Structure 1
Amino acid sequence: MDEAVRAQLRQDLLWILQAPALLPAAELGWDPGEAFTADLIDPVLTTQWQALEQARHGKLGHYFEALVQALFTASPDYRILASNCIIRGPSRTLGELDLLLEDYRQGCIVHLELALKFYLLIPEVPDIDPACRWIGSGLKDFMTLKSQRLLSHQLRLPERAAEENAWPLHLPRPDQSLGWVTGRGFVPYSTELDTATTAQSWPLIAPQALVRPWLTESDARQRGLTGHWINKSQWLSPHPGPNETRKHPPPAQWLGRLPGEGEDGHWFIVPDDWPERAQGSMLRRFDRLPMPRQTDR
């Protein structure tokens, strides 16, 4: 295995072990640190590196799922009973089950939904609930709607399947349904950015979530941001990874630092017109909808 690729896979696995929850709801905060230890990484790299390297060149969500499944496969404490299992009712498809696990430690069956998300916080918009201000860089994914769907739809899939007598007969029913939602939030750059003191003021995000800045392309140039663009397969850990041809135009993540900073970090760099387009997308999506209820923290 190429050493640069091995280092990338190792750092991404380690990042997953340590990645905190992105959303504040307790049901969506399954903690990998309580299930996995770093001594699983070497067995994973020995037996599954080819599959992981192949997944790394596909969609980022699939790469994340491959890393997660590799850890569960290597762990003596879990057994994967089903993955990406389509649940079909008598007249319609009810949904897809990400993972069904047997937890040997707790002696129970766990339904686990996986989500890796990167959201940007836009400035406040008049008449829009603050919880609606997190948006994906593609302007079609809204944190508040994703959170609602996970809680009201995806985590309730086993319950709805039981109601419609559609649960697969060869699978045990889960004792609990949980979400493993991680990633990063990106907030407008400010010299006052301090995640330790301001995270509580940002809406709909877990207090311990990973938070980094975003900048427009013009602001990044004016502030002297150094570094380089990184492909989606390098969005997890801050490891620079192997040298690769750039695949995605902005908006995209950048690995670098401002003058005076001591180490490289993840930034999100967006086109100059992106903030205005993001605000317009939110106004179109939420101006006629009831405002979502704020999540207790």
Structure 2
Amino acid sequence: MPPLTESLAATCQQRFHLRWGHLHDPHVRALAWLLDSPDLLDPAAPQWSGQVASLTAPLPPATVAWLAALDQAPEPLHDYLAIQPFTRLGRYAERLMAFYFTAQGILRAHGVQVRSAANETIGEFDFLLQQGEELLHWEFAVKLYLLEPTGAGQAADYFVGPNLADTLGNKMHKIFSRQLMLSQHPAAQSCLPQPVARAQALLKGWLFYHRHADEAFAAQGISAGHCRGFWCELAEVGSLDVQRALILPRLRWLAPVSVAPQETLDRDGLRAALEEHFTHDSMPQLVALLQDDGEAAIEIARGFIVPDDWRARAEHRVLRPRAIAGA
């Protein structure tokens, strides 16, 4: 592994291990990544009109010390999370952030549903935060998208979810045209302790590019320093440079991992596990590539392994909305 560095060229994994390698609890590590990882969207990009939120960077020393102490005694966080076997990644990340905002003393409300007089759900406030005298509405999301290469990635619609259920473009449209407007709805007024001063979106995540793509590429509006990974088809796994690997369960998709070497797979074990998975399930698998670092194996790269027909299905997913729009 190259020397750990804080340079702009360093990977997200390198920066994370340098800053947070002393943390051991996986949930505390996930929280540290949420607080310290690069934003997915560039707050200064003109198309966001100042509606992209960003956390303080670098984290204040008090927060760094708080995370270290939490790692030594993580039981309050575990109790707060109330982890269930099939917890959705987004809800898990929201709970982590709610725990942090509560500890900071700025959380006014979390997950407040707004309903009409007919009891229909109009929307939900992810976070209502107190900043001085002002009340802020923050929409929060953690997303992982793969760049479908046929459109050269110039539009957010070419970033598709691994299960092809959504695109970055769809997510942005929903957040900026609907969710951030929620406080202006008449039905929301009874849910608010005071008028909302600003509504913003905080997005964290990873974007994945085909393993032969230009690593310097960044789409418009995306943070240039965002966390990156690769994707490849199952047939390409044999050409990966694999010393050790780990297929990541969904709740380990946030922070770069550090695990005991005996938990890992070699190249043959990885391929066998993936082939077995794809015999009955088409969901891409997120794999961490690891390297020995003393008594642990630490993540140096990550990528989605997709079934061999995924590229064609992803192209259809991207082009279908355009065909409908042009009809």
Q: After superposition, give the CA deviation of every residue in 1:201-225 in whole Å (9 maximum; x if it has no partner).
A: x345222211211111111223343
- C-alpha distance in 1, partners of 2:192/2:133? 19
Give the Å deviation of 1:29.
3.5
1:181 and 1:170 mapped to 2: Cα distance?
23
Q: Deviations for 1:101-140, whole angstroms, at most 9, x for unmatched residues? A: 112xx431111111010000011249x9733211001111
* Code of the aligned partner of 1:157: L
In structure 2, distance between residues paired with 1:269 and 1:204:
26
Structure 1 residues 174-189: aligned runs within 5 Å: 174-189=196-211
Percent identity among equivalent residues?
24
Structure 1 range deviating more: 82-91 or 165-174: 165-174
In structure 1, distance between residues paired with 2:290 and 2:322? 35
RMSD: 3.1
- Looking at structure 2, the residues matched to 69 and 277 of structure 1 have their Cα atoms a distance apart, in angstroms, of 36
Query: What is the aligned partner in structure 2 of residue 65 from structure 1?
Result: 94
Q: CA deviation at 1:14?
A: 1.3
Paired position in structure 2 for 1:294: none
Q: Which residue of 1 aligns with 2:112?
A: 85
The answer to whether residue 36 in structure 2 is matched with residue 18 in structure 1 is yes
How many residue pairs align between the two structures?
270
Gaps of 5+ in 2: 1-22, 43-47, 265-272, 292-297
2:217 corresponding residue in structure 1: 198
Letter of the aligned partner of 1:19 in structure 2? S
- For the pair 1:27 / 2:51, whether they are aligned, the reply is yes
The partner residue of 1:49 within 52, 71, 78 is: 78
Instruction: Determine the C-alpha separation between the residues in 2 that align with 1:173 and 1:98.
Output: 16
Cα pair distance change 1:240/1:287, threshold 3 Å: farther
SS in 1 for 2:222: coil
Gaps of 5+ in 1: 291-297
3-state SS of paired residue (2:209) = strand
Q: Is the 8 A contact 1:55 1:66 kept in 2?
A: no
CA distance in 1, matches of 2:130, 2:59: 12
2: distance between equivalents of 1:224 and 1:167? 55
Aligned residue for 2:226?
A: 209
1:252 aligns with 2:276: no
Note if 1:74 corresponds to 2:89. Answer: no
Deviation track 1:173-210 (CA, whole Å, cap 9, x = no partner) reads 211111111101001112x743xx332xx345222211
- What displacement does 1:97 show? 0.8
Report the alpha carbon displacement of residue 239 of structure 1 after superposing the two structures with TM: 1.5
Tell me by how many angstroms 1:23 deviates: 2.4
Q: 1:157 to 1:253 in 2, by over 3 A?
A: same
User: Which runs of at least 4 in structure 1 moved beyond 4 Å after TM superposition?
Assistant: 241-244
**1:264 is paired with a residue of what secondary structure?**
strand
Q: 1:218 aligns with which of 214, 221, 235?
A: 235
The answer for the alignment partner of 1:295 in structure 2 is: none
Preserved contact between residue 80 and residue 99 of structure 2 (Cα < 8 Å): no
Contact 1:23 1:147 in 2 (8 A): no
Which TM-score applies when normalising by structure 1? 0.79
Q: Distance in 2 between matches of 1:75 and 1:62?
A: 20
TM-score of the aligned structures, taking structure 2 as reference length:
0.73
Query: After superposition, where does 1:138-287 map in structure 2 within 5 Å?
Result: 138-159=163-184, 161=185, 164-168=186-190, 171-190=193-212, 193-194=214-215, 197-199=216-218, 202-226=219-243, 227-240=245-258, 250-256=283-289, 264-287=300-323
CA deviation map 1:237-286 (0-9, x unaligned): 11245859x9x85402100059xxx9622211111110111001112222
Instruction: Say which structure, 1 or 2, has more relative contact order (CA 8 Å, 6+ apart).
Output: 1
Structure 2 CA distance for aligned equivalents of residues 98 and 204 of structure 1: 23
